[in-house]
Amino acid sequence: MILGIGTDLANIERIQGTLDRFGDRFGNRVFTEIEQAKAECRADTASTYAKRWAAKEACSKALGTGLRMGIAWKDMAVSNLRTGQPVMAVTGWAKDRLDEMTPEGHEAIIHVTLTDDHPWAQAFVVIEARPVTGPD
């Protein structure tokens, strides 16, 4: 069962301009330490930040709230599995909202995909509710 779908585009050049203007202040306000470390070790730092920005926006839309209803930027965090697959983790108010959306007897799975083609970065987030199965 699909609980929510969100998509967002981010302009990589706009993110670069924000990084140039505000530097660490921007990164520290919006991104977790893990997200910042990932971006800072990449050749195209702005593209990495832009994809994660888009993912946070898309996640807030999939949660049905947008960023104006109390979700903080850092309540949504993108990391990568060892295979490189991006994953979204939610904490704080975003986690509370996800728990509220998830039907009893189900677990919420957040699927995220990221892409970029200069000057655009794009993210899709799908929140799925899967029935929890008991022991066999």
Nearest to 10 by CA among 115, 113, 85: 115
- Name the CATH code of domain 2-131 (choices 3.40.50.300, 3.30.70.20, 3.30.750.24, 3.90.470.20): 3.90.470.20
* Domains of the chain by residue range: 2-131
Nearest to 66 by CA among 6, 2, 106: 6
- Cα of first residue to Cα of last residue in the chain, in angstroms, is 23
CB–CB of 62/17 below 8 Å?
no
**Mean pLDDT, residues 20-29 taken together:** 93
Sign for the CA dihedral angle at 61, 64, 67, 72 comes to negative
Distance CA 90, CA 78 (A): 9
pLDDT tens digit sequence for 85-123: 999 999 999 999 999 999 999 999 999 999 999 999 999
CB–CB of 36/56 below 8 Å?
no
pLDDT at 132 (0 to 100): 93
Distance CA 85, CA 29 (A): 25
Percent of the chain residues past pLDDT 70, beyond the cut: 96
pLDDT band at 134 (very low <50, low <70, confident <90, very high): low
**Mean pLDDT, residues 11-27 taken together:** 95
Percent of the chain residues past pLDDT 90, beyond the cut: 90
Give yes or no for residue 65 having a pLDDT over 80: yes
